[in-house]
Amino acid sequence: MKANEYTIDLLAPNVDGMEREYHIDDAFFQNIEGLVQRGQVMTTLRIDGSTRSVFRFHFHSKGTLFAPCDRCLADVEVPIDTDDTLTVKLGVEYADEGDCIVIPESEGVIDVSQFIYELIALSLPLRLVHEEGQCDEAMIATLEKLTPVDSLEEE
């Protein structure tokens, strides 16, 4: 991942209507600490800047992620296709207001790599499990040995 590949100068004259494509791969995920450590995702970013101080970042991400199964911890392949919007404003000092980020006008630069990661990670389902019978058999056998009999009867 190139350091400036994800950097956007909001003060540049050609920001309104700017489009960028990012091929997100394993190297990208390994540079960011989080649940997702592997995947192949194409993310398109389009910026609408109707004013010189407020920008709408439109992200479209489509591809495949790999994350640990909640049951056996082996990787689960998860297809994603998501559209997200982030509002970015120029202001006096940095602030994170949820779906709006304020960037100091004196800097005028934003790195979108962390936002891309977070939006991709948020597209994962709350519960990640393999299809029935697809879990790592050795791990399931170990779990069954370690699970008290009373717990199994309650399920």
pLDDT in tens, 30-54: 988 888 889 999 999 999 987 788 9
Query: CB-hemisphere CA count at 13 Å for 63?
Result: 20
- pTM score > 0.85 for this model? no
Residues with pLDDT less than 50, the chain: 1-3, 151-152
Q: What is the pLDDT of residue 65?
A: 95
Residue 130 DSSP label: P
Number of domains in the chain: 1
pLDDT given at position 143? 72
Helix boundaries (H) for 1-155: 26-30, 113-122, 137-146, 149-154
Question: What is the pLDDT, as a whole number, of residue 73?
Answer: 87
Does the residue 39 lie in any domain? yes
**Full residue range of the structural domain in which residue 88 is found:** 7-154
> Is residue 89 one of the residues assigned to a domain?
yes
At 1 the pLDDT is 43
Residue 109 falls within a domain, yes or no? yes
